[in-house]
Structure 1
Amino acid sequence: MTKETKTLFVYGTLLKHEKYHETLMKESSPLAASAWIKGRLYDTGEGYPVCVVSEQSTVYGELYEVSDETLHKIDELEEGYDQQEIEVMTDQGPRSAVAYTICKQKASSLKEIESGCWKSYQLWERKPSSFYYFAYGSCMDDARFKLAKVEHYFKQIIGGGTLDRFTTRFTLVRPDGSRADMVEDGGETEGVLYEVPFDAIRYLYKREGVNEGTYRPAFVDVTVGDQVYEDCLTFLVLKKSEEIAPPGHYRSEIEKGADLYLSEAFRKKIRSHMDSLMKP
């Protein structure tokens, strides 16, 4: 007999690698690692966030298919929350799902997490001595780091890594051409994994235009050789456009980094894709 299932959007301690994920979500099927809803995120101060549905901001999370049995267990954890039917956006379009939310009045005394991302917020709060950073565009090369005089942050190169479920695309359009992005479409991409000191985070967020809404922080699992590195910081384009070709200088930086660290098969694939794109 087929089990009844529901689609669930999670944004806090049920996220992959978070406190309750292994206990409650291990039998659930991931539908989207990059998902978001209209809402505001708040820190309860007790080790977990809460979400208020709101048109004025965005909450980032993950989308899963869960059994009714699993949802019942989550109901017990989320006692006092509203189980609400909402529209969830993904790279493959909108989906209807349930999410656990609270009303605006209950959040009035809580600290808002302006980024809308629980993992990003925790990284800034914890301030670890170092973290992993996954680069897939021009940051695979060190030219920009040297220009900004921050190359000392990026000396510890773990190596070329692979990322499942995503494909490198060029969706950030500028007057001179596009910039790289990763789109969750079930594919596979490659990039360079660094271990960087926490002090590098301000440079990365500024470089990627996080405060301006150009890219947003995201956290992915990257495989280098036989080892999986969990929750590596990367950045995804917020407002994706139809792809066009990147400018020559940007393409050159991608190719330099790729030639040093990435597989021959991927280098051929990314060159072929860039060749196929219309020039601005």
Structure 2
Amino acid sequence: MTVLLFVYGLLRKREKNHQLLKGARCVCEQAAINGVLYETDKGLPAASLTGTSFIYGELYETDHQMIRELDAHYLDFERRETAVNTDLGNKTAFAYVMKPEKCVPFDRIESGDWKEYRFMKREDDSPVYYFAYGSCMDNARFKQAGVDHFFAEPIGGAVVEGYSTRFTLKRPDGSRADLVEDGGRTEGVLYKLPFEAATYLYKREGVDSHTYRPAFVDACANGRVYTGCLTFLVLEKAEEIAPPGHYQEEIERGADLYLSPDFSEKLKRYMNSLPKI
């Protein structure tokens, strides 16, 4: 019998304990539970199932033998069942958490995302790879903001598997783009950026106002897979409606320049098919 396991810290992809999940199937890369995420006094992640904030992580399908092995590894944690939110609906899964009172001395991670927390604390000067799938495929607003020099090294068109481009952010004049993890396949533009460009992207995407949240996906461009690319996902997804004309024009300019002709045409048809406000 299989069981589901939600992981939020060192068990996630490319984290140091991920090998403990060898053989487990990743069901969702973008999953969330209600709770609070902390950094312990040992510099490690820990979560408590309290409050209505979100903790972001990944959802895996595994078996009871692996769960028993993980129980022995995470003796300082409790294994609890909890509701998990995904783009394909709610699930119930195990998670390794701590009692709230044990977390009192620890520092809270406000974003609820261990990967994002470590990304923002990075001290090296390695480049950031950013996957854009909406208006950021076009450079008009980069020029207006005086940040076009940050985006002067586009890798080019890129493919992300497992996701579809949708339009779930409702605004008074229409919708804005989103990536939905529904098993699809989408295209966008992959940029190589200096780390300081992240400040502009966080502001543009409304991270502080909880409009989009930063997330990480794998993108294939020019025959190479770039892992852990920064992107942004809509937090409160609404029923899709058509984007406004000016926004659609930005998307189409970027799509015509970077994406495959078939996908570019498919994206245009999809936007035109959505109901108007």
Q: What's 1:199 paired with? A: 196
**Residue of structure 2 in register with 1:278 after alignment:** 275
Partner of 1:190: 187
Indicate the larger mover: 70-79 or 152-161.
70-79
User: 1:36 aligns to what?
Assistant: 32
SS of residue in 1 equivalent to 2:36: strand
What is the aligned-residue RMSD (CA, Å)?
1.0
Q: Which residue of 2 aligns with 1:60?
A: 56
Q: Which runs of 5+ in 1 are unaligned?
A: none
1:221-266: per-residue Cα shift (whole Å, max 9, x none)? 1011321101001000000011111011110110111111111111
Residue ranges of structure 2 left out of the alignment (5+ in a row): none
Question: 2 CA distance for matches of 1:265 and 1:26?
Answer: 37
Secondary structure, aligned partner of 1:235: strand
Counterpart of 2:228?
231
Q: Is the partner of 1:55 in helix, strand or coil?
A: coil
Deviation per residue, 1:166-209 (Å, 9 max, x gap): 10000001111110001111100011011111111111111110
1:147 and 1:242 mapped to 2: Cα distance?
31
Say if 2:85 is the partner of 1:83.
Answer: no
Q: Following TM superposition, where does structure 1 have runs of at least 4 consecutive aligned residues deviating by more than 6 angstroms?
A: none
Correspondence for 2:106 among 101, 110, 114: 110
**What TM-score does the superposition give when structure 1 sets the normalisation length?**
0.96
User: What is the CA-CA distance between 1:6 and the residue it aligns to?
Assistant: 1.0
1-side partners of 2:124 and 2:41: how far apart? 19
Q: Percent of aligned pairs with the same residue?
A: 53
The one-letter code sitting in structure 2 at the alignment partner of 1:201 is A
Aligned-pair distance for 1:47?
4.2
Query: 2: distance between equivalents of 1:45 and 1:260?
Result: 48
Secondary structure (helix, strand or coil) at the match of 1:272 reads: helix
Whether the 8 Å CA contact 1:127–1:198 is kept in 2: the answer is: no
| SS in structure 2 of the partner of residue 34 of structure 1 | strand
**Aligned partners of 1:128 and 1:198 also within 8 Å:** no
**Whole-angstrom distance in 2 between the partners of 1:174 and 1:86:** 32
CA distance in 1, matches of 2:26, 2:141: 36
Deviations 1:11-36 (A, max 9, x none): 00111111111x21231111111100
Aligned partners of 1:32 and 1:62 also within 8 Å: yes
In structure 1, distance between residues paired with 2:271 and 2:197: 30
What amino acid is the match of 1:157? Answer: P
The 2-side partners of 1:155 and 1:260 are apart by 14
Task: Give the 3-state SS of the residue equivalent to 1:275 in structure 2.
Answer: helix
1:263 paired to 2:260: yes
Aligned residues, how many?
276
- Aligned residue for 2:53, secondary structure, equals strand
Q: Distance in 2 between matches of 1:128 and 1:244?
A: 41
What does residue 175 of structure 2 align with? 178
Q: How far apart, CA to CA, are the structure 1 residues paired with 2:161 and 2:71? A: 31
